[in-house]
Structure formats: C-alpha cells, structure tokens
Chains A and B, each alone.
Chain A
Amino acid sequence: MTPTATATAVTERPAASTPATFKSATKPIWCPGCGDYSVLSSITKAFAMLALKPEETVVVSGIGCSSRIPAYTTCYGFHGVHGRALAAATGVKLARPELTVLVAGGDGDGYSIGGNHFLHACRRNVDMTYVVMDNHVYGMTKGQPSPTTEPDWDSKLAPGGTGVRAFHPLVIALASGANFVARAFSGDPNGTADIIAQAVRHPGFSFVEILSPCVTFRPDQRSWKDLVHPASVTVTDDPARAARRVMTDDGFNIGVLYAGGRTPYPLARRAHPVAVADLEAEFAP
C-alpha cells in the first residue's frame, strides 16, 4: 500500500458489519460529556467501515479512563496494567498476525509510564494502531498533570504548575519511526472514525493522537471544539517535513499528517517448521 493510497479518505461504507456490532452491553463509566464516548463511537464506526469481525479484532489497553474501552466493545479485549498496553499488543500481534490489533489509552498511560514502550513500538513498526485519547490530565487519580499538560496548569499535586515543558507525542512518534501519524478530535466522531480506519489500514505502526476533552478536570478544554481546524496540507511521506509541520502548528491541526512507507516488522513464520526432535542433533557430542 502506498502512502498516497492510504491518504485518501475512507468513504466506502460496507454493510458487512455495523458500529453496533462492536458495541458491548457494558456501559461506559466515563463522565457524561467526556470526549472518550465519541472516540468509542469513532472506533466502532471505523471497525464497521473496515468490515472487521469482532472475534478477529483485539482491543488492548492499559490503565486510565480511556483504557476502559476494550470492555465496551464486542471484540476480544485486553485491559492490562498501567503503561504496558503497547507491549501486550505487540505480543498479541506477533503471536497471531492475522488478528487486527488496536491499542487505546490516555496520555499518562502512553507518554509517561508507558513512554519507553511508545518509542519502541514506533521504531519496531509492528502492524497495529495506537489511539491515544489525550486530555492533558490524569483523570482516574483526580486531576494530576500528565506529560502533555501545560507547564502552568495548576493542580493540587503541582501547585502553580509543573513548570515542565509539555511532551510532543506527534514529533516523538515521527522521530521514533511510526509509519502513520494523525491528529483527531473527539468532537468530530465521523472524521475521527475516518482517520482511525485509515490508520488501521495503513501497514506498520499507526499512531492517532485524539484530542479528547476531560470535562471534569479540564473544563477549559470545552473550547477545543472552537480551536480545532483541518490540517490544510496534503499528507506527506517525508517524516522531516511532517515533523516540521507539527512542531510549528498550533496543536489543533486535525487530519492525517504523515503516512510513511517503512517496511513493517516481519510477522511471517517459517512455513515448514522442522520437527522439535531435529533441534537435538547439536547436543550429541
């Protein structure tokens, strides 16, 4: 698949499966108004667009508000420990390359405690999709600053702000080798669904950063819907160009920003394995 091919919007609407096919009976515990509701909706829409089968799709997550997503789908889900979703997902995909693997989580889970795995998942380029619902805050532990929080954001744990520069996930992803980089906004569920579908289709490691407001701890993020705007650029397959763009944009540039052509991590296994007994020859003196 060439980068240009993947950069086109997913407009087909196959009737094989529906978003409802992917929604489980378990009801979200998220605060009403949370952007994650829309992201869940976008994910199920994307799965339907792609005509996936729930039983052949695995949704993997770590810990955090957004990491509750797997149980809200009818897919096989894996709700692991904090920060390790990408590792678990890598294991799933390597073990069963035929499965579609989507990883979902938040900014604390992915960029702080799981930061190292984020770097290595990008560079390893295993064919899977990583969706981060970024709200610049730790919600489940009651509002502490995350790696993407503004340095002057006041909180109980960091009165007056952390004074620490915010992490730039898109640049990190590009620098580390992610093969598909996009920014989306939860308030645009259809557009986000489109981007997720493109991300799933793109070979290798696809990263979708979704601005998803926290209504409880970051009510100020309600203004995001007025700030977001479409990326007025065509998709590039040049990571340097993409990095320059995302480093200089206003952080509310929505769309597919990079679609590369790196070769994904090889998943193929030996077609004709040898018998286990054949391994023993080397031990004969």
Chain B
Amino acid sequence: MTAARRKVARKSAAKKSVARKSAAKKPAARKPAARKPAARKPAARKPAARKPAAKKPAAKKPAARKPVARRSAAGKPLAGKPSARKPAARPARARAAAPASIPALMGYALWLELDAVERYRELADAMEMHNNRDVADLFRRMAAIESKHADRIMKQMDWSKVPPPPAGPAPWAGAEGPETVAHEEVHYLMQPYHALALALKGEEQALRFFEALERAASVPAVKRAAAEMADEEREHVALVKNWMARVPPPDDGWRDDPDPPRYTD
C-alpha cells in the first residue's frame, strides 16, 4: 500500500490527464483555501530539523490487524447532510500509541494524503466510466489538492522520494486512511454536493485523527507537529464547507433513473 502512495506521489506531476490539468488549475481560482497553504509559516513547520533519533515508528499494538469497526453512519452515505453526521463516524480515530518521532508522524501524514489521492483518482475514473463528468472533475480536483498537500510534506521533510513506511498497522483505526473516501460511499448519479460531503467527511476525520495524535503524543515536537497538521486539516474543513455552500444541494429524487439496469455479460 505504501508503495502505491509513493508511486502516486512520483507520478503526480508527470501523469496528468487533461481533466486533471484543468482540475489542478481551477481550484485555485475558485476556492479561497487553495491559496492558504502559501500563507503557512515554513519556520513553524521545521520540526524535522530536530528530528528525535527514534527511528522506530512507535510501539504499535502487536494485536493482529484491527477489523472493521464502524458501527454508525448507517446505510445513508449520500443523505446529503454532512454536518448532521455524528462525530464518531469512524470511532477511535487515533490509537493510543502515537508516532514517537517527527519522521514517523510525517510519514503517516504523507500516506494518509497519498491514499486519499489514489482513491479520489479511482473514484474519478469510475465516475468518468459512468458518464458523470461533473463529479469526476470534482474528484480529480480533490486528488490534485491532496496531492499538493503530499508534495508539501515531502518538501518540508526534505524527502526526495517517499520514505518506506514504518512496519506494522497504521495508527488509525478505520478500515482505510481517515481522509480516504470509501468506495461504497459513491453512486453513479451522485452530484457535486455529495462528493463534497464525502470530502468534508474525510477532512473532518483527518482533523480528528491529528487532534487525537496531538493529545496522545508524548514527545513535545511530535505533539506540536500533530497540532500543526490538525490546523491544516481544520483549514481544509473550512475550505470544503465554503465550497459546499456554493454548490446547490441535490433534489430529493437525485438517484432516480427512469431506465432499468442493463444486461451485460
């Protein structure tokens, strides 16, 4: 999995479809938050300079991989009211054991982004295949945004290539990275509003993840870095909310298809 993320990172600049290119440009114009990262203070981000020696990522739980533990967010993924969502859609966002070093923390932060990028691209492909161009474009834009985020982490850490991931289970409890939109959350007739709702959910989960890490971290530098990441996610939450406000909410019958499904093989 890590490798996929690495690859995505490497490819992010090289392999762009037309759709992606335009997507990469547009958001800047459209949404305020895309500009925001520039405002970040690089100095504040330099914790990497004093990386604690700890090479081992963390004392992660030896227990076998955790299973799916989601219990809420019942079968209404596209209900459209993201704000009403229970905060604990993915409970126990961060495990008790927080990364013990800056590189470990930033490694996780990086994979979290790369995983989300990859998934957004898959979802964009699926939407394209099903002729839902608007949502496909939106997912590609999200992929571009998260990809930039990943690039920034690379730059901050002075990583020329994606570092090998720490062994062991990731410190998040969900089935996938907290920012990764689940495959089963989408629908072929979904509208940009739905897509943004899913994105918002991801950003909120990422926010809670870093908040939990901040609370759990014992190394001060790690604590600080987690707080910074949380700040950033908070900005993303605001950005997506802002974006959503400008997109019309869907009609009740958005998923109605007058034709029955088709026979294939």
Contacts and interface: CB of A to CB of B under 8 A. Distances in A.
Contacts of B12: none
Interface in B186-225: 186-188, 190
Interface string B156-178: 00000000110111100001100
Contact of B183 (A37, A142, A219, A228): A37
Nearest to A220: B75
B7 interface: yes
Interface string B63-74: 011111111111
A141 B263 CA distance: 5
Contacts of A9: 64-65
Interface stretch (B42-50, B119-127, B226-234): B119-127
Contact of A33 (B2, B67, B73, B184): B184
26 contacts: A11-B65, A13-B167, A15-B3, A19-B3, A27-B126, A27-B129, A29-B129, A29-B264, A32-B188, A32-B190, A33-B183, A33-B188, A34-B184, A38-B182, A41-B122, A45-B1, A49-B1, A143-B261, A191-B65, A193-B1, A215-B187, A220-B75, A222-B74, A223-B75, A228-B68, A229-B68
Interface in A150-209: 185-191, 193-194
Contacts of A95: none
Contacts of A215: 184, 187
Interface string A1-45: 000000011011101011111000001111111110110010011
Most buried by A among B3, B70, B262: B3
B66 A37 contact: no
A250 interface: no
B253 interface: no
A264 to B, nearest CB: 25
B87 to A, nearest CB: 17
Interface of A: 8-9, 11-13, 15, 17-21, 27-35, 37-38, 41, 44-45, 48-49, 63-65, 67-68, 140-143, 185-191, 193-194, 213, 215-217, 219-220, 222-223, 225-226, 228-230, 254-255
B251 interface: no
B183 A185 contact: no
Contact of A216 (B4, B6, B71, B261): B261
Nearest to B119: A41
Interface in B1-28: 1-4, 6-8
Interface of B: 1-4, 6-8, 64-75, 77, 118, 122-123, 125-130, 132, 164-165, 167-170, 175-176, 182-188, 190, 260-265
A185 B170 CA distance: 19
Given A11-B168, A27-B126, A140-B265, A190 B1 contact: yes
Given A27-B125, A41-B122, A230 B67 contact: yes
A13 B128 contact: no
B182 to A, nearest CB: 6
Contact of B175 (A21, A32, A190, A226): A190
Contacts of B188: 31-33
Contact of A28 (B70, B73, B77, B126): B126
A126 B1 CA distance: 28
B8 A20 contact: yes
A36 B187 CA distance: 14
Nearest to B177: A190
Q: Enumerate the 7 nearest inter-chain pairs by beta-carbon distance, A residue then B residue, closest first.
A: A18-B3, A230-B67, A222-B75, A19-B4, A188-B175, A188-B68, A37-B183
